[in-house]
Amino acid sequence: MASGELKEVASLRQEVRTWLVKNLPAKWGTPEYEPPERLSREAHELGKSFTGRQYNAGYTGFRYPKEYGGIERPSSEIAIIREELARCGTPPGPLSLGLLMVVDTLLAWGQEWQKQRFIPKILSGEESWCVGFSEPGAGSDMANIQTLAVRDGDEWVVNGQKCWTSMWEFADWSLLITKTDTNAPRHRNLTYFIFNTATPGFSRRPLRQMSGESEFGEMFLNDMRIPHENMIGEEGRGWYVAMSSLTAERSGGGGASVMGISGFGDAVVQNIGGVNNLVELAKNTKRHGKTIWDNTTFRHRIAQLAIENQASRYFNTRLGINLRKGAASANEFSMSKNFQSEMRKRQGDMIMEIIGPYSQLINGDPRAVDDGALVYNMLRARGATIERGTSEINRNIIAERILGLPRE
Ligand X SMILES: Cc1cc2nc3c(=O)[nH]c(=O)nc-3n(C[C@H](O)[C@H](O)[C@H](O)COP(=O)(O)OP(=O)(O)OC[C@H]3O[C@@H](n4cnc5c(N)ncnc54)[C@H](O)[C@@H]3O)c2cc1C
Does 140 help bind ligand X (rule: CB under 6 A)? yes
- Please state the closest distance from residue 139 (CB atom) to ligand X, in A: 2
What gap in Å lies between CA 205 and CA 172, rounded to an integer?
15
Does 390 help bind ligand X (rule: CB under 6 A)? yes
Indicate the residue among 259 and 381 with the shorter CB distance to ligand X: 381
What is the per-residue DSSP string for 132-181? Answer: E--BTTBSS-GGG---EEEEETTEEEEEEEEEEEET-SS-SEEEEEEE--
- Please state the closest distance from residue 393 (CB atom) to ligand X, in A: 6
Q: Give 214's DSSP letter.
A: -
Helix (H, G, I), strand (E, B) or coil at 60: coil
Contact residue for ligand X among 155, 213, 370, 387 (CB under 6 A): 387
β-bridge pairing 129-132 and 173-179: parallel
Residues 156-185 that bind ligand X (CB under 6 A): 164-166
Does 396 help bind ligand X (rule: CB under 6 A)? yes
Does 146 help bind ligand X (rule: CB under 6 A)? no
Measure Cα distances from 186 to 5, 189, 237, 239, 298 in Å. 58, 6, 11, 9, 49
Part in contact with ligand X (CB under 6 A); list of ranges 8-16, 23-31, 61-69, 125-133:
125-133
- Please state the closest distance from residue 345 (CB atom) to ligand X, in A: 12
Contact residue for ligand X among 9, 107, 362, 393 (CB under 6 A): 393
Q: How many residues bind ligand X (CB under 6 A)?
A: 18
Neighbours of 21 (CB within 10 A): 10
Contact residue for ligand X among 114, 134, 251, 271 (CB under 6 A): 134
Indicate the residue among 131 and 354 with the shorter CB distance to ligand X: 131
Helix (H) or strand (E) holding 99: none
One character per residue 190-229, x = contact with ligand X (rule: CB under 6 A)? --------------------------x-------------
Q: What are phi and psi for residue 295, nearest 5 degrees?
A: -85, 115
- Please state the closest distance from residue 138 (CB atom) to ligand X, in A: 7
- Please state the closest distance from residue 133 (CB atom) to ligand X, in A: 3
Indicate the residue among 153 and 404 with the shorter CB distance to ligand X: 404
Q: What are phi and psi for residue 84, nearest 5 degrees?
A: -70, -40
Q: Give 401's DSSP letter.
A: I
- Please state the closest distance from residue 73 (CB atom) to ligand X, in A: 32
What gap in Å lies between CA 151 and CA 226, rounded to an integer?
9
CB-based contacts of 115: which residues, under 8 Å, 6+ apart? 67, 68, 106, 107
Residues 248-307 that bind ligand X (CB under 6 A): none
Does 133 help bind ligand X (rule: CB under 6 A)? yes
Contact residue for ligand X among 78, 81, 131, 275 (CB under 6 A): 131
What gap in Å lies between CA 156 and CA 148, rounded to an integer?
9
What gap in Å lies between CA 91 and CA 246, rounded to an integer?
26
Part in contact with ligand X (CB under 6 A); list of ranges 5-13, 79-87, 231-239, 390-398:
390-398
- Please state the closest distance from residue 233 (CB atom) to ligand X, in A: 17
Catalog residues that contact ligand X under the rule CB under 6 A.
131-134, 139-141, 164-166, 216, 383, 386-387, 390, 392-393, 396
